[in-house]
Each structure stands twice: as C-alpha cells, then as structure tokens.
C-alpha cells in the first residue's frame, strides 16, 4: 500500500505514520508539552540521542503525564528535550507569526543592523547594514554605515540590547555616533523609528552589472531564501545574461537562510539546469529515513521555477561568494551544494555552520503535527504554539555535510565598521576584493580594515524565521 507525503513548510503535509492517538488522558495544563513531545519523538533528527524522547521512555500514562507536568513552562520544556549539540531548533507561541516570518513578512521598522561590543566593558554599538525599502526607516535620515550607541537615551550594553531593540516597544529613538580610527563618540543626532506589522522584504536588494575595464561582472545582494521572490531572483539572472555577464559576485554576507528549494533554484541559476546532476541529498532520523527510497531523498538542479519559468543560468564554473558569520543555513547549502561542480571563491569570514533543515510543527496530530495552511481549522484552538525543530541534514553530491564549525573563507576580510561602503559600488571593500580576484588588477586602496570586532548578533536573528532552513518540496513516502 502506498501513501503520499507532500512536505511544504507553510503549505503542509499529509502523512500517516506511527504515533499514539490517545491523548484523552492528557491534563489540560500540559497540552502544549504533549504536542511538543509527540512531534519531537517522531520527527526530531536526534530523537535517538535524547533519552527523554525514547519510544520506551515511559511505562504508563501516569508516568508520561508526570514528566510533562514537571516543566510547566512550554519554552523551558521544549528546550529540555533537545539534543545538547542542537543550536538552532526554536519555538514560537504564535504559529501565525512564525509562518509569516518564514515568508519574509514581519513586524519591522526596516532597519537591518549588527551589534558589536566595544571598549573594555559591556558597551555595545550598532551599525546599519541596510534599509528595507518601503519601511519606516526608508523615510528617515538613516543609512548603511551609520553607527548608534543609545536607545531612548540609554547606552546599549550586552545586557540590555535585547529589551531596548527587540522588546515590546514599537517605537524607539536611536542616538547616533561617529567612528574615528578605533574611537566611537556619541553625537547629538537622533532618529525615531517605528515597527509596523506586515513589512515584506524582497531579498534581492541589489542586482547590477558592473563594467570593469570591459569585463562584465554581475553583482547580486541576496538577503534571504524567500520562496515568494524566486521569480525576482530569476529575473535578475536573466538581466545578467542579457548584459553578457561572465563572472558573478554572490553577496550573502547577511543572509540567514530560508527555503531549501530557493537555494536549489539559485544554485541552478549559477551553475546549470541539468536535472540529472545531484544538488543535495537529505538524511533524516532512523524512523523517517527508512521510509524513503534513495531517489526520494535526492534534489537535482532545476530547469524551471515553481511558477514554471525557465531558469536563467549563467553556466559558471567559478563563482565569488561574499559570506560572513551572519551567513547561515541555506546560504551555506548553496556554497556546499555547488562545491562539487563549481570553484567557490569565498571572501569574508567563516560562516555560522548550520547544516540541518527543519519543518514547522503545530498541534494537529491527525496531520502528524505538520503545519498545513489548508488545515488551520484542525489545529487545536487551545494551543497556538509552533515548534521549528531540526529534522534532517543535507549533504552535497560528494557526501560532504560536516561544516558545523562553518565554512572557512578562501580570502579572509572582515567588514570595516568605519568604512562599510555602498553595497554594489565597486569600491565597497568586500566587493572590491572580489573584483581584484576576478580581474587580477591590484586595487589602489588597502583592504586592511581599521575598525573590526565580533558581531554579537544581527537584527535578522530577532525575526520569527531567524536562521532557519526549511523544506518546501514534495516527498513521496512509501508504507507497506
């Protein structure tokens, strides 16, 4: 007997699998914990490594209920049943917020920034990476390269930046600062910003063709693998082809990841539309892995987008990728998936090291806890929580997947917080270094940054989708 599994994060799964259907004896105060445990017991990648998720962990309903009730806070409970080496599984008490975030929709003022500790104490400054078009920040006097040290008059520190920048305050006032050498000085300038619901970010921030001494170099700043903008991404590559681009700089320095399928499409735009060549292969936990044939676990390069448009491919055998520690999951997947076929010249810093994928889960046991937008009326109305657990790992055509320490650059170059430059401008330091590598012409300016530091976090990590890499592909699952 065959059944069919269609795995779409945000669109859903229909799956029959072995699970306990008897929730009648679950106390009402641990409904959330029960959902979390059952979903993790079935799907979690490290289910076999977590004793409390073992199939034989409980000898009775009473023992199971006692375990759930021992941790009354759902967030604490979810964290307690994760593998110790899991850095990326997360939860959200409102599944709609999480689903919207995965589709690039969030409550935002449009300011994208990084936070850096400076001085001898815990003081922190923020630097503006870019502004989302059509946002509140886009209407204010603030731009890439600006520095801020205060929020509502308070100095930012490692202890308070979360509350000041990512708390419940929809409006805050940033106090700007200046950098001179290694010295940061407060200024009198202030900018008021307000977060609004429903801000949608097009991840294709910049796409341009540079003519460097007659050599056509494509540059694309891609800030998230958002499936709703795959056509815009493909159109950008169509323009590169029309412009006669022979070399490509793919800038993912702030890209935290997203759709696995969007990564496959991007890789195809860079390299090939040969659907007989393997892009990546999935590896699930033992409960799930044994249900799939080899062909069902394999993703090949694509010839068309989801909407049926022909992929515009540059057919390159070399690509220059700008990536930093803020580059994660699907960004790293593109780099790793291309590596067996393309010479990937990585400029920047070591990436974050996230090689697992996830799916969105809600309290819909009849659908094996997988979120399906068409089944929202089947989600337990008493439980709005969602979890985004890591459920598998991707390996490339050579079988390589072990980059939990990140992908190291071929050419190390950190951003200079005092000289970030203009994205897409040939003089922007990281792009300029890539151009030098492409043309072989040494730049007149030095690439040695004057003001660097370890980024504590970027604003993308406060979004509902964080640095998630999620599956959105159809999978055929066979049962006997």
What would the pLDDT profile of 128-167 be if each residue is shown by its tens digit? 999 999 999 999 999 999 999 999 999 999 999 999 999 9
Q: How far apart are alpha carbons 132 and 174 in whole angstroms? A: 17
Pick the CATH number of 201-357+393-448 from 3.90.226.10, 1.10.357.10, 2.40.70.10, 2.40.50.110: 3.90.226.10
CB 295 within 8 A of CB 276: no
Q: HSE on the CB side for 322, CA within 13 Å? A: 26
For residues 17 and 167, the model is more confident at: 167
Give the tens place of pLDDT for each residue, 187-228.
Answer: 999 999 999 988 889 999 999 999 998 999 999 999 999 989
- Nearest residue to 50 (alpha-carbon basis) of 77, 80, 20: 80
* Mean pLDDT for all residues in the chain: 89
Which DSSP category does 380 fall into?
-
Q: How far apart are alpha carbons 146 and 177 in whole angstroms? A: 8
Domain with CATH 2.30.42.10 in the chain: 107-199
Neighbours of 214 (CB within 10 A): 5
Contacts of 295 (CB under 8 A, 6+ apart): none
State the pLDDT at residue 6.
38
In this model, does residue 479 exceed pLDDT 60?
A: no
For residues 471 and 110, the model is more confident at: 110
Q: What percent of the chain has pLDDT over 70?
A: 92
Domain with CATH 3.90.226.10 in the chain: 201-357+393-448
Residues in the chain: 480
Which DSSP category does 270 fall into?
H
CB 343 within 8 A of CB 317: yes
Token pair of 456 as six digits: 């504590």
- Nearest residue to 253 (alpha-carbon basis) of 399, 429, 90: 429
Which DSSP category does 442 fall into?
P
Token pair of 479 as six digits: 């049962």
Cα distances (Å, whole numbers) of residue 145 to 142, 181, 453: 9, 15, 15
Query: Which burial class, exposed, middle or buried, applies to 83 when counting CB atoms under 10 A from its CB (0-12, 13-18, 19+)?
Result: middle
Find the range with the poorest average confidence among 29-43, 103-117, 166-180.
103-117
Nearest-Å Rg of the Cα atoms of the chain is: 23
**pLDDT band at residue 476, thresholds of 50, 70 and 90?**
low
State the pLDDT at residue 102.
74
Neighbours of 439 (CB within 10 A): 14
Q: How far apart are alpha carbons 262 and 257 in whole angstroms? A: 10
Facing residues of 388 across strands?
90
CATH of domain 107-199: 2.30.42.10
Cα distances (Å, whole numbers) of residue 403 to 304, 353, 400: 29, 6, 8
Token pair of 321 as six digits: 């990728």
Cα distances (Å, whole numbers) of residue 248 to 124, 235, 423: 35, 15, 15
């Amino acid at each position: 007997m065959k059944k069919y599994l269609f795995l779409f994060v945000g669109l859903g799964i229909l799956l029959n699998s072995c699970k306990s259907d008897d929730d009648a004896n679950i106390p009402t105060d641990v409904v959330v914990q029960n959902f979390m445990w059952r979903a993790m017991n079935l799907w979690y990648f490290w289910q076999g490594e977590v004793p409390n998720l073992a199939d034989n962990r409980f000898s009775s309903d009473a023992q199971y209920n006692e375990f759930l009730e021992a941790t009354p806070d759902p967030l604490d409970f979810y964290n307690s049943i994760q593998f110790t080496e899991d850095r990326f599984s997360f939860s959200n008490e409102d599944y709609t917020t999480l689903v919207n975030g995965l589709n690039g929709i969030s409550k935002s003022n449009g300011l994208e920034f990084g936070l850096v500790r400076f001085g001898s104490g815990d003081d922190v400054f923020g630097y503006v990476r870019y502004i989302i078009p059509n946002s509140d920040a886009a209407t204010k006097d603030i731009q890439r390269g600006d520095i801020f040290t205060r929020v509502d008059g308070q100095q930012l520190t490692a202890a308070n930046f979360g509350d000041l920048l990512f708390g419940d305050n929809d409006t805050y006032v940033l106090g700007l600062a200046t950098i001179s050498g290694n010295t940061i000085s407060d200024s009198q300038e202030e900018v008021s910003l307000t977060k609004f619901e429903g801000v949608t970010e097009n991840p294709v921030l910049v796409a341009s063709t540079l003519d460097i001494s007659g050599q056509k170099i494509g540059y694309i700043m891609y800030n998230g693998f958002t499936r709703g903008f795959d056509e815009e991404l493909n159109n950008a590559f169509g323009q590169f082809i029309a412009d006669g681009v022979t070399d490509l700089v793919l800038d993912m320095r702030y890209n935290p990841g997203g759709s696995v399928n969007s990564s496959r499409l991007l890789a195809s735009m860079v390299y090939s539309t040969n659907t007989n060549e393997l892009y990546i292969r999935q590896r699930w936990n033992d409960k799930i892995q044994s249900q799939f044939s080899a062909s069902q676990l394999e993703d090949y390069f694509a010839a068309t987008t989801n909407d049926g448009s022909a992929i515009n491919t540059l057919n390159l055998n070399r690509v220059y990728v700008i990536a930093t520690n803020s580059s994660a999951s699907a960004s790293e997947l593109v780099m790793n998936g291309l590596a067996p076929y393309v010479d990937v010249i990585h400029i920047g810093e070591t990436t974050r090291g996230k090689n697992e994928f996830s799916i969105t889960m809600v309290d819909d046991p009849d659908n094996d806890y997988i979120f399906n937008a068409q089944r929202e009326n089947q989600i337990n109305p008493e439980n709005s929580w969602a979890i985004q657990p890591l459920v598998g790992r991707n390996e490339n055509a050579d079988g390589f997947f072990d980059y939990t320490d990140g992908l190291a650059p071929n050419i190390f170059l950190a951003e200079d917080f005092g000289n970030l430059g203009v994205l897409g401008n040939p003089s922007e330091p990281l792009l300029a270094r890539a151009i030098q590598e492409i043309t072989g012409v040494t730049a007149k300016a030095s690439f040695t940054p004057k003001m660097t530091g370890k980024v504590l976090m970027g604003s993308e990590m406060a979004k509902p989708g964080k640095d998630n890499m999620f599956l959105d592909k159809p999978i055929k699952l066979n049962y006997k």
